[in-house]
Amino acid sequence: MFRALGRVLRSFIAIFTGRADRAADRIAKDPDAMRAEYDAVIRELKTNIREYMDVDASIRAERERRLAQLEALTGDITKFERAVIAAKQKLAQIKARLEGEGLDRAAIEKDPDFIKFRDAFKDYSTTLAEKKQREEELQTNIKQYTERIDRNVRRLREQQRRMEKVAQDKHEAIADVLSAQERQRLADMEAGISEDRTGERLSTLERQRREAVARADSAEAMAGTAGDRQLDELLEAVEGSEHLDDLDAELWGEDEEKKPSEAEQQLAAEVDISVPED
């Protein structure tokens, strides 16, 4: 079961990874997609800056509140410090007066005025100690808030620089993509020209044309050869008859009267030609 779940999980991861890769390829090839992606990053940086500014404003407000508390507390501390000193001086005066009257320590400590200012002294001293402790806490808090504000200021400046750089990179990246597309288009055109087979086709057509002309010339030459052969045969026949006549003349004599042909004999029969006798 766990193996099946693992396979399903890996399949989902592969699907999302493939989609992310395809999206990245689309962004790398499409200037509009890249512009939209840069705009999304800029919007995210602006959101971060606003969040830092909100946090910074809250911290500053809290620090101001602590500063106001510290200022008020400082006034209270000064007042209670004076009250403690005054109570102490009053006790000293009462003690001196009672000692002058001849009272001992036990009697002096039971004196109502002495008890009143002694209790006041203790109360003022305790309150002063608490306020001083609170003063230290406020000072620590204010210091921490100041440090946080300084960090936020640095982060804000860093985010602002990043946003400015991204805004600048946006134009440069889009220009680079457009330039890359143009270079790719020119490279594809050059590749298409180098792979263009029209020249080869034209060469084939030219070769076929030459072959057709050659076949026609060959046919005409063959036809002329046949006519020449027939003429040669006729000439050979004539020459053969002449040789035959020469042979007959040698065999039968040159003065031998040639026999008339059948046509001549028929013509002679139809036309009465009388030859006068000597």
What one-letter code names the amino acid at 41?
Answer: V
Q: Are residues 177 and 214 in the same domain?
A: no
Q: Which domain, by its residues, includes 212?
A: 200-249
Q: What is the pLDDT of residues 107-160, one digit of tens each?
A: 989 999 999 999 999 999 999 999 999 999 999 999 999 999 999 889 888 888
Same domain, 123 and 238: no
Task: Render each residue's pLDDT in the chain as its tens digit; 278 residues.
Answer: 434 434 434 443 434 444 444 545 555 557 788 788 888 888 888 888 888 889 889 999 999 999 999 999 999 999 999 999 999 999 999 999 999 988 898 998 999 999 999 999 999 999 999 999 999 999 999 999 999 999 988 988 888 888 888 888 777 777 777 777 677 777 766 665 555 566 676 677 777 777 777 777 666 666 655 556 665 665 565 555 555 555 455 555 555 455 555 655 665 555 454 444 44
Q: Is residue 259 part of a domain?
A: no
Same domain assignment for residues 154 and 18: yes
261 lies in some domain = no
Smallest Cα–Cα separation from 42: which of 163, 195, 173? 163
Do 26 and 48 fall into the same domain?
Answer: yes
Q: Are residues 81 and 20 in the same domain?
A: yes
Of 63, 44, 69, 68, nearest to 152 (Cα)?
63
Looking at the fold, whether 31 and 104 belong to one and the same domain comes out as: yes
**Are 143 and 214 in a shared domain?**
no
b/e sequence 61-80, b meaning 16+ C-beta within 10 Å: ebbeebeebbeebeeebeeb
* 28 and 121 housed in the same domain: yes
* 184 three-state secondary structure: helix
Q: What is the CATH number of the domain that holds 121?
A: 1.10.287
260 domain-assigned = no
Q: Are residues 185 and 205 in the same domain?
A: no
187 and 207 together in one domain: no
Question: Which of left, alpha, beta for 271 (phi over 0: left; psi -120 to 50: alpha)?
Answer: beta
What 3-state DSSP class applies to 253?
Answer: coil
For residues 112-139, one letter each, b for 16 or more C-beta atoms within 10 angstroms of the residue's C-beta and e for the rest, the string is: eebeebbebbeebbebbeebeeebeebe
- Please report, for residues 65, 88, 170, the alpha-carbon distance to residue 73 in angstroms, rounded to integers and kept in the order given: 12, 22, 53
d(CA 211, CA 207): 6
Task: Tell me which of 153, 171, 196 is where a domain ends.
Answer: 196
Rounded to two decimals, what is the model's pTM?
Answer: 0.50
Number of structural domains, the chain?
Answer: 2
Same domain? For 70 and 30 the reply is yes
Same domain, 241 and 103: no
**Which has the closest alpha carbon to 128: 86, 84, 161?**
84
